[in-house]
Amino acid sequence: MRSVAGRHMKPANFDLGVHDLGQARAFFDNVPGWHFEKVPMPYEVYRIQAGPEAEPGIDGGIGAPRDASIAGGNPLTQVSVPGDALQAAGAAHRQNGD
């Protein structure tokens, strides 16, 4: 596994924007066994527990793209990386040109 400045860029979170929340929740509940918790927001969005707390990995969220202005109404996947790891990766890229 490649690291930047001694750090790995493990994502901290992911967000999925889907048109049919019911269908997506059913799929992710039945296939990988993810669990959903409704987040108290003025629109429909859920926190995803993508596995047992003790297992390595990340959790995420799922909502409709119409509720995420960045999506422009289209399905969208976002992956969040800790800022310091991202800055280190950018610096390494500028320094090494790769």
Q: Total domain count for the chain?
A: 1
Report if residue 5 sits inside a domain.
no
In this predicted structure, the answer to whether residue 78 has a pLDDT above a threshold of 60 is yes
CATH number at residue 33: 3.10.180.10
In a domain, 28, yes or no: yes
| Domain, as residue range, for 90 | 13-96
Q: Mean pLDDT over all residues of the chain?
A: 77
In a domain, 4, yes or no: no
pTM score, whole prediction: 0.65
* Distance between CA atoms of residues 42 and 65, nearest Å: 14
Residue 62 burial (10 A CB sphere; 0-12, 13-18, 19+): buried
DSSP string covering 14-68? EEEE-S-HHHHHHHHHHTT--EEEE--SSS-EEEEE-S-TTSSS--EEEE-GGG-
- Has residue 6 been placed in a domain? no
- In this predicted structure, what is the pLDDT of residue 10? 64
Confidence of residue 38 (pLDDT cuts 50, 70, 90): very high
Terminal-residue alpha carbon distance, the chain: 16
Q: Which residue would you say has higher pLDDT here, 92 or 51?
A: 51
Segment 54-63 shows an average pLDDT of 84
